Amino acid sequence: EDQVTQSPEALRLQEGESSSLNCSYTVSGLRGLFWYRQDPGKGPEFLFTLYSAGEEKEKERLKATLTKKESFLHITAPKPEDSATYLCAVQEGGAQKLVFGQGTRLTINP
Amino acid sequence: DAGITQSPRHKVTETGTPVTLRCHQTENHRYMYWYRQDPGHGLRLIHYSYGVKDTDKGEVSDGYSVSRSKTEDFLLTLESATSSQTSVYFCAISDYDRDQPQHFGDGTRLSIL
């Protein structure tokens, strides 16, 4: 059974204080690993897809990396507008379905 | 933004009543999904559709049924709502190409008293 575990559950940072969020996964044949951002009262917003170990993708202050067992979302010099819940999901090869982790609630204080 | 509209956005109803939630897309995507999101459980797949009249069960399908009579509409029905179905429901869409991720609507907050 596919499993996704995100840590920490919540993270509070000062503006400009860089950190990383972790997503550990167990899947039979990874088709893709997805990162989403979710703001309160909104649906998840797509950020990145990673397909194979060693792959990296960047968008503004965010950088996602992938190994065979986990993915990291690095946030560099965050701003208050980066505050959100970040969700990780995996897709097994041959399937359309996503399995989500429970998310990391990130708060950036000015 | 992906053209996904969920209706209603909020609903309060009583135990035992039927409830139907609607998801409408303007992207002509093949796949549509229904998820529920609960504290401590994250997003869990209820049902999904891979074409008109083609649907399959997800992780938490008991107590729910779906229908897709047109490409653009995917309905989720709670035949007899229970308090355990109080949740936020999200619809998502995707196309077949693996480079196309799922895109989500803004959800329906359903309270069953």
Query: What pLDDT tens digit does each residue of chain A (110 aa) get?
Result: 779 999 999 999 999 999 999 999 998 888 899 999 999 999 999 999 999 999 999 999 999 999 999 999 999 999 999 999 999 999 887 777 889 999 999 999 99
CA of A35, closest CA in chain B: separation in Å? 10
Q: Among all residues of chain A, which has the CA nearest to that of B30?
A: A96
Token digits of residue B48: 């999904």
Amino acid symbol at B90:
F
- Inter-chain touch A43–B41, beta carbons under 8 Å: no
Cα–chain center distance at B100: 19
Give chain A positions within 8 Å (CB) of B4. Answer: 43
Alpha-carbon gap, residue B89 to B108, rounded angstroms: 5
pLDDT at B41: 85
pLDDT (tens place) for every residue of chain B, 113 residues total:
569 999 999 999 999 999 999 999 999 999 999 999 998 888 999 999 999 999 999 999 999 999 999 999 999 999 999 999 999 999 999 987 656 789 999 999 999 99
Q: How far is CA A80 from CA A20, A38, A84, A88, in A?
A: 16, 14, 9, 21
pLDDT of A28: 84
In A, minimum Cα distance to B106 occurs at A43
Phi, psi of A69 (to 5 degrees): -125, -15
Q: Kindly give, in sequence order, each residue whose CB lies less than 8 Å from that of residue A40, ignoring residues fewer than 6 positions away.
A: none
Taking CB atoms and an 8 Å limit, are B90 and A43 in contact across chains? yes
B48/A43 touch (CB, cutoff 8 Å), yes or no? no
Chain B partners within 8 Å of A96 (Cβ): 31, 48, 50, 94
pLDDT of res. B2? 66
A25 touches chain B (CB under 8 A): no
Question: For strand B31-38 and strand A45-50, is the pairing parallel, antiparallel, or unpaired?
Answer: unpaired
pLDDT of residue B40: 82
Contacts of B89 in chain A (CB under 8 A): none
Chain B stretch 10-39, residues whose beta carbon is closer than 8 A to a beta carbon of chain A: 31, 33
Is B98 an 8 Å CB contact of chain A?
yes
- A69 shares contact with chain B (CB less than 8 Å): no
**CA-CA distance, B25 to B77, in Å (whole number)?**
18
* Chain B residues in contact with A42 (beta carbon < 8 A): 106-107
Between the two ends of chain B, the Cα-to-Cα distance in Å is 34
For residue range A73-101, what is the model confidence (pLDDT) as tens digits?
A: 999 999 999 999 999 999 887 777 889 99
pLDDT of residue A1: 73
Cβ contact, residue pair B102, A46, below 8 Å: yes
The answer to whether B106 contacts A41, with C-beta atoms less than 8 Å apart, is: yes
